[in-house]
Structure 1
Amino acid sequence: MDNEKALVGEMTLPIFQCKGWLKLIGILSIVGGVVTALSIVGIVIAWLPIWQGVLLYQSASAIEEAKHNESKEALLKSLNKIKVYFIIMGVLMLIWLIFVALAVVFGGLGIFMNMAQMQGM
C-alpha cells in the first residue's frame, strides 16, 4: 500500500507542477466562452470553451487532491478530465481542418471559374 501511495505521489508530480497553468488556461477558456456567448452567433458555440475550461480547472483541482492525499482515484479523475479535454480539442481541430480544406477547394474553384470567364470575354 505504501508503494502504491509513493508511486501515485511520483506520478502526480509533472501535472501537479503545472496545475497553475491548467487553472489559468481553464479560467481564460471560461472567460472566452462567456465573451463568445455575448454575440448572437457565438451563443451557439460558447459552451465548448466553457466546458473545456471547466474540465481543465477540475483536472487541476483533482491533481492537487491526488498529490496531497496520494489518492489514486483523484489522479485517475484528473487524467480522465485531461483526456476528455484533448478529445474535444481533437474533434474541433478535425472539424476546423475540414472547413479549411473545403474553403481551399471552393476558393480554388472560384478562381478557376473566374479565370475561365475572363478568357471567354
Structure 2
Amino acid sequence: MDLQALSSPLYSARGWLKFIGVMFIINGVLTALSVVGIIFAWVPIWLGILLFQIAGASEQAYLTQSEGEFLKSQTKLKTYFTITGVLMLIGLVFMFLFLGLGGIAAISQLASGSKGF
C-alpha cells in the first residue's frame, strides 16, 4: 500500500485545512464575545482544532508514510464530517420549526382579518 499516494490529496490541501481552521477558531472567539454565543462558541473552535489536527496528521502520513498518522487523519476527518452533519440536521430542524411557526402566525393573522403587520 502506497501511503504517500493515499495521503496526497489531504497533504496537498493542508494549507486550506489550516486556513479554514483558523477561520473557525476566529469565528468561535468572536461568537464567545456575545452573551448567548458563549454557549455555542466551543463548536467552531473544536472544528478549527480538528482541521489543524487533520492537516498535521496528513502531513506526517505523507512525509513518513506512517499508517498510524494516515488512520489518525482519516478518523479526525470522519469526526469533522459527523459534527458538521449533526449541526446541519439541527439547523434544518430549527429552520422548519421556525418556518412552520411563522406560517401558522401568518395564517392566524390573515384569518383574524387584521390588516396591520
Task: Give the TM-score taking structure 2 as reference length.
Answer: 0.95
Q: Which runs of 5+ in 2 are unaligned?
A: none
Measured after TM superposition, the shift of residue 104 of structure 1 is 1.2
- Given the alignment of the two structures, is residue 63 of structure 1 paired with residue 58 of structure 2, yes or no? yes
Match of 2:96 among 88, 97, 101: 101
- Given the alignment of the two structures, is residue 27 of structure 1 paired with residue 22 of structure 2, yes or no? yes
Measured after TM superposition, the shift of residue 103 of structure 1 is 1.1
RMSD across aligned C-alpha pairs, in angstroms?
0.9
Measured after TM superposition, the shift of residue 83 of structure 1 is 0.7
**What is the aligned-residue identity percentage?**
45
Structure-to-structure mapping, 1:1-121, within 5 angstroms: 4=1, 7-118=2-113
Q: Which 4+ residue blocks in structure 1 deviate beyond 4 angstroms?
A: none
Using the alignment, how far apart are the partners of 2:54 and 2:29 within structure 1? 20
Deviations 1:17-39 (A, max 9, x none): 10100000011101110111111
* Matched length: 114
Using the alignment, how far apart are the partners of 1:29 and 1:42 within structure 2? 14
Using the alignment, how far apart are the partners of 1:112 and 1:32 within structure 2? 37
SS in 2 for 1:118: coil
